[in-house]
Amino acid sequence: MRLGIAVVWLLLIIVAMLTPGNNFPDASFNFEDKLIHFVCFGTLSFLWCGVGVKRAFVNGLHGKVLSNYLIFGVAAGIVLECAQLFIPFRSFDYMDMIVNEIGGIAGLLAYFKIPTSKIGLD
């Protein structure tokens, strides 16, 4: 279940970030844009951290959790922001990339704090 939700969320983020800018509504102010990036990548990191991991056996930063975080909490935020350089009417923004990474860290921390078994993700 968690893998399916994580894949769908990743695909939604890819579509949203790689849609040409003139087809996507502008955020009404810069804070809103950063909040969207934070939530999107925080959720992505949270979902992917637990993929392939039995939560009951995780004490601290498990190797699979770490690799999932590095791929989906760090690399995805960097790659998708850089990919916007090649999309018409989109632009690369260092602050967006930084907020993506902060969201990824928040997702990792949330993975260890939120009992996902209660929401059906384990």
Whether residue 22 lies inside any domain: the answer is no
Instruction: Give the per-residue pLDDT at 54.
Output: 75
Digit-by-digit pLDDT tens for the chain (122 residues) are 889 999 999 999 999 999 987 655 555 557 888 999 999 999 999 999 888 887 666 666 678 888 999 999 999 999 999 999 999 888 899 999 999 999 999 999 998 888 765 555 65
Cα dihedral sign, 69-16-116-111: positive
Whether 49 maps to a domain, the answer reads yes
pLDDT value at residue 79? 96
**Structural domain total, the chain:** 1
Please give the radius of gyration of the chain, using alpha carbons only, rounded to the nearest integer: 15
CA distances from 93 to 21, 70, 96, 98 (A): 13, 20, 5, 9
Q: Which domain holds residue 37?
A: 2-17+29-119
CB-based contacts of 111, cutoff 8 Å, min separation 6: 45, 46, 49, 50, 65
In a domain, 23, yes or no: no
pLDDT, position 65: 86
- Residue 102, domain member (yes or no): yes
51, 73 Cβ separation under 8 angstroms:
no
- The per-residue pLDDT for 63 is 81
Q: What is the DSSP letter of 103?
A: H
